[in-house]
Amino acid sequence: MEQWFEKYTSIRLADLIALFISYAIKLVAAIVLLIIGFWLIGRLLKVAERTLEARNFDLTYKRFIRKPFKFYTKDCSCNCNS
């Protein structure tokens, strides 16, 4: 029991800092990718709306088409690899 305790309590501060930095970099990269993804989705929605507006679609059709598109791009993006 004492060997186990000594093994896990003898972690050096430098190791903890290195571990923290490696996870912090991954977290920042994930947040940046999320922001870029939301920005791209917003741009795609605006392009789709402009296209519908140029073709003189009714406002209710634009809303009807926008909601599923927004749902499938934002809410279902986590299942794209399954």
Query: CB–CB of 70/45 below 8 Å?
Result: yes
Count of domains for the chain: 1
In a domain, 71, yes or no: yes
In a domain, 20, yes or no: no
In a domain, 16, yes or no: no
Higher pLDDT, 63 or 32: 32
Q: Is the pLDDT of residue 75 over 80?
A: no
In a domain, 43, yes or no: yes
In a domain, 27, yes or no: no
Kindly give, in sequence order, each residue whose CB lies less than 8 Å from that of residue 52, ignoring residues fewer than 6 positions away. 61, 62, 65
In a domain, 60, yes or no: yes
What's the confidence (pLDDT) of residue 28? 97
Amino acid found at 2: E
Predicted confidence (pLDDT) per residue in 16-62, tens digit = 888 899 999 999 999 999 999 888 888 888 888 888 888 887 777 77
Q: Is the pLDDT of residue 2 over 50?
A: yes
What's the confidence (pLDDT) of residue 51? 85
Q: Cα–Cα distance between 43 and 60 in angstroms, integer?
A: 20
Higher pLDDT, 66 or 40: 40
Structural domain containing residue 63: 34-77
Find the helix packing angle between 13-54 and 59-70, rounded to 10°: 160
In a domain, 66, yes or no: yes
Amino acid found at 65: I
Nearest to residue 69, comparing CAs of 53, 48, 54, 52? Answer: 48
